Structure 1
Amino acid sequence: MRYEKHKKRKSRKWLSILLVLLVLVGGTAGYAWYQYKQGVNQSLEKINNQENKGDVSNEVYTFEGKKDQYGATNILLLGSDAREGEKVSRADTIMIAHYNKDKGTYKLTSIMRDIYVSIPGKGKHKINSAFNGGPELMRKTIKENFDIDLQYYAIVDFEGFVQLIDEAFPKGVEINVEKRMEEYIEVPLDPGLQRLNGEQMLSFVRFRHDAIGDFGRVKRQQQALQAIGEQLSSIQTIPKLPKLTGVVTPYINTNMDTGDILFMSKDFLSKDRGNIETFRIPIDKGYADKSVKGEGDVLELDLELNKKAFHQFLTQ
């Protein structure tokens, strides 16, 4: 009899604990959803107040991606520079974000848009023209030339980058601007270590009108993302993740769901992480400058040399 009473008390205790946990989990999930929707509505309001802007997340693309042969998740990141009156869209920025859950590593590869490669069904062209066939053709192009699979894609409107910076870093991102930058960017920058807001950071990552052109721009893009990653991990960012995800959602077209984005972001910011290793295609001494009729100046690759170095970067 005494045993049965003890067993009932123990059962009631565990039931009470379970109910408390359910309330806590439900409350946390509800708050996260509220923060996410708040971020989405904040960006949609800004989009509606801007001329020639729209929600870029609605168009549906086919994307037959999968994990790579090393068990890692690769995300194709594309920034479009389609201009009014042009029939052809080209990728202004081409990157691959690499996430290996087992190793806990985060890597970033920049692919220069002027490399001259074989595009499936199209012949040889600059790789950025593959974007005219959508993210799936870009995926096939990267697979054919570099033998790496991509599981997800994200097409990014650069205004989303601006909004993310301003929301996550109200005081700006600390970064060293190595020179005066003013040609063909909306916000001129002075040299020196400083904190840049979203518009200023956009100028920093887009500037390329100097002696090293696109090479310098790719270097600055990687520098900026490394600084953002390091500074995000140094502040209490995880509670802000739902709202930050909501802020960028209207500016991104992706086949990733919100849960995937939040999980990878949380993992990146926890466990003393926040470090991003970077790589660039082409590698130094792995290309030659060339002029091609109909294409202009291109980067002719030593394809095998670049492919080997790329796979070494992914597996090291």
Structure 2
Amino acid sequence: MSKKNYESENSRRNFRKSRKRHRVLRYVLLSLAVLLIAGSALAFFEYHRLSPENHFSNLKAIGAAGNNSKNYKEKAGTFNVLLIGSDARKSGTASHTDSMVLIHADLNKHTYNMLSIPRDTRVYMKGYGYTKLTSVQYISQVKKGTKQGIVDAVSAVSDLTGVPIHYYAETNYWGLKDMVDALGGIEMNLPFKVTLTHPWYSRNQGKTFAPGVHQLKGEMVAELTHERYSLPGTDYGRQQLQQAALIGIAKKIMQPSNVTRLPALSRSLSKFLVATNMSTEDMVSVGLGVKGNFHPEKQIKYRQVKGHSATMYDDLLKANNSQIILDSDELKTTIKKYFSN
């Protein structure tokens, strides 16, 4: 073969190799592009599916009470959740409701209206009659089981307020304590002087806290939110302390230094919560809704409905006892203004 022909053949071989290399490169790039597009499409689909306006739409209410709520307009991106604080023990199957907070979350406007309902509020319990709210969950759990007891308590609050409730989350003393400690403690801005008169631990009996900001660990946060007898307005004063604790927790969670703790916190939810019907996807969607635009002190608003104490006949206990009767007109006005869409 002449030198000229050899160089020509060699050139053709190099060209074919070059084309092959480019073809392989194109296939690799095409494969990467497909993977990227597929991954992006999946991420977009997941984001689209879990974005609050899509995820929180056409929600089912808990129990029959919420489904029968009248004059309630619901829009996408909003939901109602009942936070339940109870005296549940780890080995127990029934618990008394210690506090209840109804939250209307609007992830479109980034507002979170909260209404605390006193534990002694007079409510109607199907099959029994009128009794205190604190008794509903306990009796129902004794008779029907743990989950149904929570559902009945949620239904009682829904009947009382006329608001459909989509989710519930129950915690107890130990759950609150563990959550605060997992965050490394929180700041609570106390609106008034607090003296512990019936603490969980006798060592805390009589401890006094001045109004203002306090750096607190889990035990003391749980003690403060349990106090009521030394507070102005008793249960209404307790509501203000609950608000201070929730704001303190929210502010601490949203600190950049705590972002790395969130996966561990999410994996430990069973440690903090006695019970909830919120799924992981529900929680992710909430996270998408509040991410980057969460200012607890401005966006969390506590609403109060005044009531009066009265000695009333308790159909459940078959005896007279002291109950709180909420002002029905004020309740309707508050619900219409802050808890309806």
Length-normalised TM-score, structure 2? 0.68
After TM superposition, give the deviation of residue 101 of structure 1 in Å: 3.0
Partner of 2:282: 260
Partner of 2:333: 308
Percent of aligned pairs with the same residue? 22
After TM superposition, give the deviation of residue 63 of structure 1 in Å: 4.7
C-alpha separation between the residues in 2 aligned to 1:20 and 1:83?
Answer: 49
C-alpha separation between the residues in 2 aligned to 1:87 and 1:154?
Answer: 16
Q: Structure 1 315/81 Cα, relative in aligned 2: closer, same or farther at 3 Å?
A: same
After TM superposition, give the deviation of residue 91 of structure 1 in Å: 0.5
Counterpart residue type for residue 248 of structure 2: A
Q: Structure 1 15/87 Cα, relative in aligned 2: closer, same or farther at 3 Å?
A: closer
C-alpha separation between the residues in 1 aligned to 2:94 and 2:276?
Answer: 21
The answer (yes or no) to whether the contact 1:111–1:280 under 8 Å persists in 2 is: no
Query: 5+ unaligned residues in a row in structure 2: which ranges?
Result: 1-15, 41-60, 141-148, 314-318
DSSP 3-state at the match of 1:145: helix
Counterpart selection for 2:222 from 183, 202, 212: 202
Q: Structure 1 64/103 Cα, relative in aligned 2: closer, same or farther at 3 Å?
A: same
* Mapping 1:8-157, distance limit 5 Å: 9=25, 12-16=28-32, 63-64=62-63, 69-71=73-75, 72-81=78-87, 89-132=95-138, 133=140, 134-157=149-172
DSSP 3-state at the match of 2:278: coil
Q: Structure 1 136/288 Cα, relative in aligned 2: closer, same or farther at 3 Å?
A: same
The answer (yes or no) to whether the contact 1:75–1:96 under 8 Å persists in 2 is: yes
Partner of 1:43: none
Q: Structure 1 250/83 Cα, relative in aligned 2: closer, same or farther at 3 Å?
A: closer
After TM superposition, give the deviation of residue 227 of structure 1 in Å: 2.3
Partner of 1:289: 309
DSSP 3-state at the match of 1:139: helix
Length-normalised TM-score, structure 1? 0.72
C-alpha separation between the residues in 1 aligned to 2:236 and 2:167?
Answer: 26
Counterpart residue type for residue 32 of structure 2: S
Range 217-226 or range 305-314, more displaced: 305-314
Partner of 2:13: none
The answer (yes or no) to whether the contact 2:178–2:271 under 8 Å persists in 1 is: no
The answer (yes or no) to whether the contact 1:173–1:196 under 8 Å persists in 2 is: yes
Q: How many pairs does the alignment contain? A: 272
Counterpart residue type for residue 174 of structure 1: E
Q: Structure 1 199/121 Cα, relative in aligned 2: closer, same or farther at 3 Å?
A: same
Counterpart selection for 2:235 from 207, 214, 218: 214
Q: Structure 1 309/7 Cα, relative in aligned 2: closer, same or farther at 3 Å?
A: farther
* 1:166-212 superposed Cα distances (whole Å, 9 cap, x missing partner): 111x2x21223432523111333432532001111111111112153
Q: Structure 1 202/255 Cα, relative in aligned 2: closer, same or farther at 3 Å?
A: same
The answer (yes or no) to whether the contact 1:90–1:128 under 8 Å persists in 2 is: yes
Partner of 1:190: 209
After TM superposition, give the deviation of residue 295 of structure 1 in Å: 4.6
DSSP 3-state at the match of 1:92: strand
C-alpha separation between the residues in 2 aligned to 1:8 and 1:307?
Answer: 70
DSSP 3-state at the match of 2:209: coil
Query: 5+ unaligned residues in a row in structure 1: which ranges?
Result: 25-61
Q: Structure 1 103/280 Cα, relative in aligned 2: closer, same or farther at 3 Å?
A: closer
DSSP 3-state at the match of 2:323: strand
C-alpha separation between the residues in 2 aligned to 1:112 and 1:194?
Answer: 25
C-alpha separation between the residues in 1 aligned to 2:173 and 2:278?
Answer: 18
